[in-house]
Amino acid sequence: EVQLVESGGGLVQPGGSLRLSCAASGFTFSSYEMNWVRQAPGKGLEWVSYISSSGSTIYYADSVKGRFTISRDNAKNSLYLQMNSLRAEDTAVYYCARILPSIVGAYIDYWGQGTLVTVSS
């Protein structure tokens, strides 16, 4: 069974930092591309960042570029999101999501349960 378990969320002051982790199990983590997606309270879904299976290709949403860093440790079956210079508008539930490659493109097929990040003084 595919499982994605996020951790590391919490309350942080504006300008502060936080590191999110996602522990993967039930599949060969090193073979899959991964994403972070977030959802502000009462709002819709927003794609945040992508990382290839090897970690060699990375993309970010403009809203987080230069402040957030995605990484992975395939030996530990873990995905990370280092978040610096946090702003109130970064307050959201952050989801770790697996990407399934296919002949019809690569899409998200599994999501973690999410971890809440609250940026407030």
Partner 1 sequence: VIWMTQSPSLLSASTGDRVTISCRMSQGISSYLAWYQQKPGKAPELLIYAASTLQSGVPSRFSGSGSGTDFTLTISCLQSEDFATYYCQQYYSFPWTFGQGTKVEIK
Chain contacts with partner 1 (rule: CB under 8 A): 35, 44-47, 50, 59, 61-62, 95, 102, 104-114
30/63 with CB nearer partner 1:
63
Nearer to partner 1, 75 or 104 (CB): 104
Say if CB 80 and CB 87 are below 8 A apart: no
Rounded distance, CA 18 to CA 2, Å? Answer: 26
Distance of closest approach, residue 100 Cβ to partner 1, in angstroms: 8
CB of 41 to partner 1, least distance (A): 12
Q: Which is nearer to partner 1, 2 or 15 (CB)?
A: 2
Residue 117 C-beta: closest distance to partner 1, Å: 15
Give me the least distance between CB of 16 and partner 1, in Å please: 25
Which residues does 16 contact at the CB level (< 8 Å), separation at least 6?
Answer: 86, 119
Residue 39 to residues 7, 27, 30, 77, 95, Cα–Cα distance (Å): 16, 25, 26, 24, 8
Asked whether the beta carbons of 35 and 105 are under 8 A apart, the reply is no
